[in-house]
Amino acid sequence: MDDEVPLKEYIDSLWLGHHREHEALQRSLDLARDQMRDKLMEMNQFRAQIDQERGRYITRENYDLRHDELSKRVNAFERYRANLEGRLWMLGAGLTTAGVLINVAFHYWGK
């Protein structure tokens, strides 16, 4: 009869164990809720950052339009430069030819 426990003490011990289990579950729920709230706050901050940065980017259509404009300007500049280089080459060739002709003329008729 040593292992007999009065019914009230047995029920009280069961109730206390049950109550402790509920407290542990409530603590774990509170911790999970706090962690979820923190994670959602971080996600909202990340979303706000993305929305803020999204305003800094240009659209694909705008990029294509600007790229085409710049490409045309670069091509026009390259054509102008090539034309100018050709003119300078021809000027150099003409001056060299004139110099040679003047030297030949002085050589034969300058005596």
For residue 1, pLDDT over 70 is answered with no
Q: How far apart are CA 25 and CA 17, in angstroms?
A: 12
Q: How far apart are CA 60 and CA 46, in angstroms?
A: 24
Say what the pLDDT of residue 44 is.
95
Rounded mean pLDDT of 14-20?
Answer: 91
On whether residue 110 sits in a domain, the answer given is: no
On whether residue 7 sits in a domain, the answer given is: yes
How many structural domains are present in the chain?
1
Indicate the pTM of the whole model. 0.44
At 17, which amino acid appears? G
The model's pLDDT over 38-70, given as tens digits with 9 standing for 90+, comes to 999 999 999 999 888 887 888 889 999 999 999
Kindly give, in sequence order, each residue whose CB lies less than 8 Å from that of residue 66, ignoring residues fewer than 6 positions away.
58
Output the DSSP codes for 15-26.
HHHHHHHHHHHH
Say what the pLDDT of residue 5 is.
72
On whether residue 101 sits in a domain, the answer given is: no
CA neighbours closer than 13 Å in the CB half-sphere of residue 41 = 6
On whether residue 31 sits in a domain, the answer given is: yes
